[in-house]
Amino acid sequence: MNSLSQVRSLLVGGRVTSRQLIIDSLNRIDATKKFNAYITLEDREKLLNDADESDKRLQHQQQQQQSGVKRELEGIPIAVKDNFSTSKLKTTCASKILENYIPSFDATVVSRLKEAGAIIVGKTNMDEFAMGSSTSTGHFGASINPYSRDAGESLVAGGSSGGSAVAVKLNTVSAAIGSDTGGSVRQPAAYCGLLGFKPTYGSISRYGMIAFASSLDTPGFFVHNAVDAAILLDVLVGRDCNDSTSIEHPMQKKFQQYLNSRDNNQDMKGLVFGIPTDYLVKEMDPEIINLWRETVDLIEQAGGKVVAVDLPHTKYALPAYYILATSEASSNLARYDGIRYGASTSGAKSLKQQYMETRSEGFGAEVKRRILLGTMSLSRGSYDNYYNKAQQIRRLVSDDFNQVFNRQSVDILITPTTPSGPFKLGDNQDPIDMYINDIMTIPASLAGLPSASIPLAHSQSNNKSTPTPLSLQLIGNRLQDHKVLEAIQKIMSLNRYNNFYNQININ
């Protein structure tokens, strides 16, 4: 399946039908089951009926010789992470406790996709309750990175939105929705060689997205290029009365227009890129350091201005994040008690036993670990020493970014997305080692800033038949998502990178 913009062009031009796309999507899903990208699929007949209705609307548009796109995503198959509520379709959050939960409503993200004509083919795999960096902590097994080619070796897809990344990389859909709390879209995008976009916090509604850490959770997505990202931003961004944290965005419905108005070339004149020296950590792979340096050189050659910047509180971001996120998770997950909804143990002799057995049986090890950590941080003896101090660090991290963007007039920060490439499934069993995978993405999450991971090269440090991807992260100022899009388009159009997706074919 081609990129979102290419598929849309084919549909509008009558060169392919939505029914053909759905059949192709289902065939690819069936042929790639071993990668475990999906948890639940929509009913085949319903998908085909929806596709036929889209084809009728598209055909009418063609017969009337109507130009332009009436509905941005008419007839296009899209996958959605399994922590977004979908009416009449299971939403499990990859947890045993919600194994058979069927919502009665659509999340705002889902309803906006449907209003734009998209067809939701299924719900993708994830870490349980979005808690993880490998898509291996869920009740339904691990998703496998499509770059896992060597016999007997499975690479992680990244997490927690790994299923969505795998679904796009395997060409089962052109785009997939994920959620990003501390890097859960950007990290899988880096591991699977895709563009992963996390918008400004609040710009896309969280209504109907099952909460992990409410002040950090941000809907995001996986696509192939900046044009695709602009299409989805035009569809999804906007105030929602059902979400008190959602905001009006100055570029709402104007992302494609903005991107089209910019010079679609490699000229970087007028853009100021900041290089945070604090992101050069000892754990970083030398290949990623080299890619970072080479990309900075290419930006300067293309006319961009590059300056070194200081983000001095970056080193405190990781521990602060895990205190804040787990504290919010402890509160949010208190609702899963076996009484109101979700799985419930049978035979309990008291309400306390009901609670204990339901939660002990329903939650996996990583979720339990984070609930305990969060509960401890919120306890009377720890609240001031941990939670309050973590909030203070969050403010200092945000102030660092404000200093760089607003006082030093930097447009975009460019950093690595991850300190290393994808690791083998089963490695990094130590939770602390796993948490370090998010060290590059967490600061932007704490500040609520728009950021994206872009694939720019392949690793050459091994003898694998299929080298793994290497990516960099772009971070913009608050509500400057369009500037991030512009930087993505220009950097990915550089000669060294413009054929990235043609270098490798994942079957």
Q: Which residues are marked as active site?
A: 81, 160, 184
What 8-state DSSP symbol labels residue 219?
E
SS3 content of the chain, % helix, strand, coil (to 5): 40, 15, 45
79 beta partners: 122, 176
Measured in degrees and rounded to the nearest 5, phi and psi for residue 287 equal -65, -35
What 8-state DSSP symbol labels residue 73?
T
| Six-digit token string for 139 | 């009740």
Sequential DSSP letters for 23-55: HHHHHHHHHTGGG--EEEE--HHHHHHHHHHHH
User: How many Å apart are CA 151 and CA 122, to the nearest integer?
Assistant: 29
- Half-sphere exposure (Cβ direction) of 351: Cα atoms closer than 13 Å: 2
220 beta partners: 178
Least Cα distance to 195 among 223, 170, 169, 161 occurs for: 223
User: How many Å apart are CA 307 and CA 387, to the nearest integer?
Assistant: 34
- Half-sphere exposure (Cβ direction) of 283: Cα atoms closer than 13 Å: 16
User: How many Å apart are CA 21 and CA 99, to the nearest integer?
Assistant: 29
Beta carbons of 198 and 451 less than 8 angstroms apart: yes
User: How many Å apart are CA 121 and CA 118, to the nearest integer?
Assistant: 9
Q: Is 463 exposed, middle or buried, given 0-12, 13-18 or 19+ CB atoms closer than 10 A? A: exposed
For the four alpha carbons of 481, 483, 489 and 495, in that order, the dihedral sign comes to negative
User: How many Å apart are CA 27 and CA 44, to the nearest integer?
Assistant: 11
User: Both ends of the chain: CA-CA distance in Å?
Assistant: 11
Q: Is 86 helix (H, G, I), strand (E, B) or coil?
A: strand
